[in-house]
Amino acid sequence: MPPTDSGEERSLLDYFGLPFFYRHASTTQMRRGMFWLGFVGLLMLLFINVLFMPHAPDSAMAALRRAVFSTGARYPSVESGLESLFHQMFVIAIIFAGVFSPLLSTFSFSSERVNGTLEFLRLSPMPTLSIVIGKMFAPAWSLLKFAGLLLLLGVVFGACAGLDPANISLALLCIVLSCATVHAIGAYFASFTTLGRGFGSLVGLGTVTFFFYILPMGSWQERGFPFLAFLSPWGAMDALFWKNFSWSMRYTQEPQFLGYVGAVKFYVLGFHLLAFSMLSWAAARKLDAPERPALPRRGWCVVWLFGLITTLGIVANG
- pLDDT over 50 at 181, yes or no: yes
Sort residue 137 into left (φ over 0), alpha (ψ -120 to 50) or beta: alpha
Mean pLDDT of the 31-53 span: 86
- pLDDT over 60 at 4, yes or no: no
Query: In the prediction, which pLDDT does 195 show?
Result: 78
Please report, rounded to a whole number, the percentage of residues in the chain having pLDDT higher than 70.
Answer: 87
Alpha-carbon distance of 168 to 284, in angstroms, equals: 34
- pLDDT over 70 at 3, yes or no: no
Residue 163: band (very low, low, confident or very high) from pLDDT cuts 50, 70, 90: very high
Query: In the prediction, which pLDDT does 71 show?
Result: 67
Burial degree of 72 (CB within 10 A; 0-12, 13-18, 19+): exposed
Residue 21: band (very low, low, confident or very high) from pLDDT cuts 50, 70, 90: low
- pLDDT over 50 at 72, yes or no: yes
Query: In the prediction, which pLDDT does 7 show?
Result: 45
pLDDT digits (tens, 9 = 90+) for 243-284: 755 545 455 667 889 888 889 999 999 999 999 999 999 999
Alpha-carbon distance of 18 to 222, in angstroms, equals: 42
Mean pLDDT of the 106-112 span: 87
Alpha-carbon distance of 82 to 80, in angstroms, equals: 5
